[in-house]
Amino acid sequence: MAHKALIFATLLIIIFTYLPGIFGSGESVHSGDLLIYEVSPSSYPKSHMDYVCLINRGNQIFNLSGTYITDFEGEIRLSGELKPGNRYYVAENSTSFIRYMGFAPNLVYPQHTRFALSNTGDEVALFENGKIEDIVVYGRSSYSGAGWTGSPVNITTGHVLRRETLDYTNSSRDWTNFHRIGQSDFKETKSKSRIEIFAFPDSSNEVIRYLHGARKRVQIETYTFTSLKIERTLENLTDVGVNVSILLEGQPVGSIPLKEMYVVEHLYEKGANIYFMDSGGGRHARYIYIHSKFIVRDEKDVLVSTENLDVTSMEPCGNRGYGVIVHDTKMATYFEDIFKDDTKRVQDIKQYRGEYKYVTCNFSHRLEAKTSHFKPVNLTAALETVIAPDYALQEFDKFADSENDFYVEALYIKDYALSKLYHKTNAILAEHTIKGYNMKKFHVQGLRLLHAKLVIGTESILVGSMNLGLSSMTKNREASLIIHGKNAVSFFKKVFLHDLNGGNNGLSIIKISKKSNGIWVSIAPTGKKAKEYRIYVDNKLVYDGKNSKVKINVNPGTHTVKCITTFEDGTKDTFIRKIEVESPKKEINIKYLLVILVFAGFLYKIWKRKG
């Protein structure tokens, strides 16, 4: 009887020891501080970029002796020590790893190892002293052992598996799979900072004013750059010794504009360091687009914007957008680190070397003006960063879940963002609307289009480069901010409601086109009917009448133009602007030259015959 009892007890021990592994119960295997953090099992063809990354999540130095990683077919033993918070990379190929990541791995696969990550499905397990400590299962793997519950993590070529949290559920919920090889892994940062908030185009000159304050260094990251006004400001900075560095998107939609080529070449000649993130020529860009829009100044301040450095952003009748200037060294350093990571010398970065030297283009000589409705506001507010694709999706979720009352003013809102916000939104103003949804098409007379990316809550707002769509949050480099506080909400809501109601009433939009023998003044009243127009040049009345488009002859030089619109209800709108009229260039018309040459040849033939 005792013998049978012993056998029964032994069987019970065996069952309870091995049954969880047989049926994949997902029993927790985590007892230490070392975790698998990132796995690259399906790298680009011929890139040799398979790797495994471990992290020490504890607060003590971790001794790696006695640890190894395995795919249950081969193993790689680790050595050395790992400081708290640090990462340990085991790579297939050191040269390829440096080319894509910008630094060397801690360990390279040993020769003749059987360890190899299958790009269709496999497991990576971490063992310490013979005991499994962590595991990730992906693709078509049929693993059902200890440490994992549920289905594997999906994987696609060129993407990595990255642990979303250092806590764990032993399942695919712990992992993200949308990060590309080489993408950064910044974490959210918070601050209480002194800020300036402003609207484009009303206060677009705040960008110029901000740049004028630079004394040592300016670092710019933007999608496109066509503003001659900003280019000349940066040229002046280089003349006084300010270091200017710029990162641009190398494959923007529709290709790089000619104006950007012109701007880039002129800044390069002045000594600016200019880089493009480019997926051409067999390169694999870390981000679908460099779509961020920020400027770091002297490691002390950062301007985060919804607008590119383009002509359409800087003109008085340009795009509706927003900017936030943050006066905070911590925030400035954070964005400088992003810029440095994005411009590090890896395979998708191309430094400009004068390729556009012979590019020419014409910039418009038209001047625009309209009354500015919204002045910049200075305040102190609590801030949170939102950086895509690193953690933007998680931050957007938290923001969307934190409030129940939103207003949206954006280029567009779609897919995931729409599903999260629509049922909580009072009004949506968009440049691109979706049929079947309650959205209003943006139309404000005197503005080109809506380019903002703004969500207004009751206690906080989300604003920056990140469009309201899943692709922007998970594939692009984006930079946005969450700003907390009633004063910030009040400013943005005021602009939003103004735009929602169609904009201004009874104000004039003035456009001045400079010609070689003078100027054309075009006045477009908005809202109310105009009774008459008066135009002064250098305090002299040159026109008094009802025509809204007038040609005025002026001599070359600097002139002050004053336009007064009188409306039928007796109200007036006044605009004053200084303009520079250049002397007409004496150029030979090529057609006339050809006629002269042909006629000269004809006379020569006659002379020859008579001679």
For the domain that residue 557 is a member of, what is the CATH number?
Answer: 2.60.40.10
d(CA 327, CA 305): 14
Q: Is 238 inside a domain boundary?
A: yes
Locate 609 and state its tokens: 């015959």
Same domain assignment for residues 229 and 312 = yes
Whole-number pLDDT of residue 587:
46
Q: Is 217 inside a domain boundary?
A: yes
d(CA 80, CA 89): 12
Q: Report how far apart, in Å, the C-alpha atoms of 536 and of each of 122, 136, 555, 561, 576 are.
A: 78, 75, 14, 6, 9
Q: Quick one: average pLDDT of 519-525?
A: 79
Whole-number pLDDT of residue 282:
87
Whole-number pLDDT of residue 21:
38
The residue among 435 and 527 whose pLDDT is bigger is 435
Same domain assignment for residues 208 and 123 = no
Any idea which residue has 């402003």 for tokens?
198
Residues paired with 406 in a beta bridge = 425
Any idea which residue has 């007036």 for tokens?
572
Q: What is the DSSP string of 452-469?
A: -EEEE-SSEEEEES--BS
Residues paired with 261 in a beta bridge = none
Q: Which helix (H) or strand (E) holds 31?
A: none
Same domain assignment for residues 254 and 343 = yes
Q: Quick one: average pLDDT of 11-39?
A: 57
Whole-number pLDDT of residue 54:
98
Residues paired with 200 in a beta bridge = 321
Residue 7 clears pLDDT 90, i.e. is over it: no
Same domain assignment for residues 217 and 344 = yes
Same domain assignment for residues 400 and 493 = yes
Q: What's the predicted TM-score (pTM) here?
A: 0.85
Q: Is 291 inside a domain boundary?
A: yes
Same domain assignment for residues 51 and 103 = yes
Same domain assignment for residues 389 and 536 = no
Contact residues for 124 (Cβ-Cβ < 8 A; gap 6+): 36, 39, 41, 52, 69, 70, 71, 117, 135, 136
Same domain assignment for residues 155 and 222 = no
Q: How many residues does the chain have?
A: 611
Q: Quick one: average pLDDT of 257-281?
A: 95
What is the tally of structural domains in the chain? 4
- What's 404's domain CATH number? 3.30.870.10
- What's 104's domain CATH number? 2.60.40.1260
Q: Is 4 inside a domain boundary?
A: no
Q: Containing domain of residue 535, as a range?
A: 507-581
Same domain assignment for residues 340 and 469 = no
Residues paired with 566 in a beta bridge = 532, 572
Same domain assignment for residues 29 and 135 = yes
Confidence of residue 611 (pLDDT cuts 50, 70, 90): low
Whole-number pLDDT of residue 366:
64
Q: Is 47 inside a domain boundary?
A: yes
Q: Is 539 inside a domain boundary?
A: yes
Same domain assignment for residues 173 and 256 = no
Q: Is 236 inside a domain boundary?
A: yes
Same domain assignment for residues 206 and 289 = yes
Report pLDDT digits (tens) over 172-227: 999 999 999 999 999 999 999 999 999 999 999 999 999 999 999 999 999 999 99
Whole-number pLDDT of residue 17:
39
Q: Is 590 inside a domain boundary?
A: no
Q: Quick one: average pLDDT of 53-63?
A: 96
The residue among 53 and 559 whose pLDDT is bigger is 53
Domain closes at, from 116, 151, 180: 180
Mean pLDDT taken over the chain: 90
The residue among 24 and 518 whose pLDDT is bigger is 518
